[in-house]
Amino acid sequence: MKILCVLYDDPVKGYPPSYARDSVPVIERYPDGQTVPNPERIDFRPGELLGSVSGELGLRRFLEERGHTLVVISDKEGPKSRFEQELPDSDVVISQPFWPAYLTRERIAKAPKLKLAITAGIGSDHVDLKAANDRNITVAEVTFCNSISVAEHVVMMILSLVRNYLPSHDWARRGGWNIADCVERAYDLEGMQVGTVAAGRIGLAVLRRLKPFDVGLHYTDRHRLPSEIEAELGLTYHPDAASMVPHCDIVTINCPLHPETEHLFNETLLAKMKRGTYLVNTARAKICDRDAIVRALESGQLAGYAGDVWFPQPAPKDHPWRAMPHEGMTPHISGTTLSAQARYAAGVREILECWFAGKPIRKEYLITEGGRLAGVGARSYSV
């Protein structure tokens, strides 16, 4: 088989010969009890840079020993890209949400041999799931592998916005001691009302991590949490985002992108929020109306916007979110720490081991199978 793997470029200074730390903590289970990926073997050292081209997700030895062909590229955009050239005779496509190889209906039609699309991470909205179902293509992702990584990033971004950290850091780097400039937009998180759109693995992890800050916690989700969790965390449930956001000082978006959530945060919903609300989006960029976010920041309706998701990815240099006021944007990095890479690389290998052996892929990893949404995909997505 031919496996086409699309990964982001190596560091500008080259693939690292050494790392800041010698190891990463060993985690055996996630908070809900699900075990971490458990392949028969791995051919990498956890803590290595696996998500870039030279890292190859640690797959080359495994695949070539079994007689398969591995092609690893980063060039994925446009009709003349390496991705378009390599796709027609590929059996498996692997890509990451941080550098997605968009498998549109048109591209799927050009790949008659394609049988399996794997997301090395969480979030398979870069695949046209209806087109995949129509072609009976299995789509899988490594569920929960980087959920806590993203949740930690959300908390960091909330604190960075509320405490006005990034502008203050800039003053220090420039040699200044401009305390008034630093604190004119700085507040305490304590006592604020924080709401999450979706309380799945990431959203719930965010709520748990914010509880010690003595904030009010709110959530909306198509699946209401058990009453004991609501009581434990002091959660207030709202039936939808429109009814939740007027009560919140901070809103964090943690839901999948599908037709019901695309452009959910538009001019109308942003107008329902308190003036000066902070919005954090590490889910998917298209859940927000790009230009409405810019206008809300310029008018002061939003006090700040932070996130690491863009559309398209990578974002063009003239993307307005790079230059809008009071932003805390990063490239899409929240779920691709070196710690997370060890888990999702192992998860990709586990999926491939099952696929080659004709064994069932974990239901937790399945998005589509047999021409329909399956496993976690049936809970998270609509087509």
Q: Give catalytic residues, as residue numbers.
A: 146, 284, 313, 332
**What is the Cα–Cα distance from 56 to 51, expressed in whole angstroms?**
7
> On the CB side of 130, how many CA atoms lie within 13 Å of its CA?
6
Residue-wise DSSP of 210-236: HGGG--EEEEE-SSPPPHHHHHHHTEE
Instruction: Identify the CA nearest to 161 among candidates 191, 194, 195, 187.
Output: 187
**What is the Cα–Cα distance from 135 to 151, expressed in whole angstroms?**
34
Instruction: Identify the CA nearest to 101 among candidates 115, 118, 114.
Output: 118
Q: Using an 8 Å Cβ cutoff, are 51 and 341 in contact?
A: yes
The two tokens of residue 85 are 């050239």
Residue 115 CB coordination number (10 Å): 15
Residue 339 CB coordination number (10 Å): 18
H-type alpha helices, the chain: 60-65, 82-86, 105-109, 129-134, 147-162, 165-173, 179-183, 201-210, 227-233, 241-244, 267-272, 290-299, 338-357, 375-380
DSSP character at residue 19 = -
113's enclosing H/E stretch is none
Query: Reduced to 3 states, what is the DSSP secondary structure of residue 8?
Result: strand
Q: For residue 340, give Cα distances in angstroms to 34, 129, 207, 284, 345.
A: 15, 25, 20, 19, 8
**What is the Cα–Cα distance from 341 to 47, expressed in whole angstroms?**
8
Q: Using an 8 Å Cβ cutoff, are 359 and 234 in contact?
A: no
Q: Using an 8 Å Cβ cutoff, are 328 and 158 in contact?
A: no
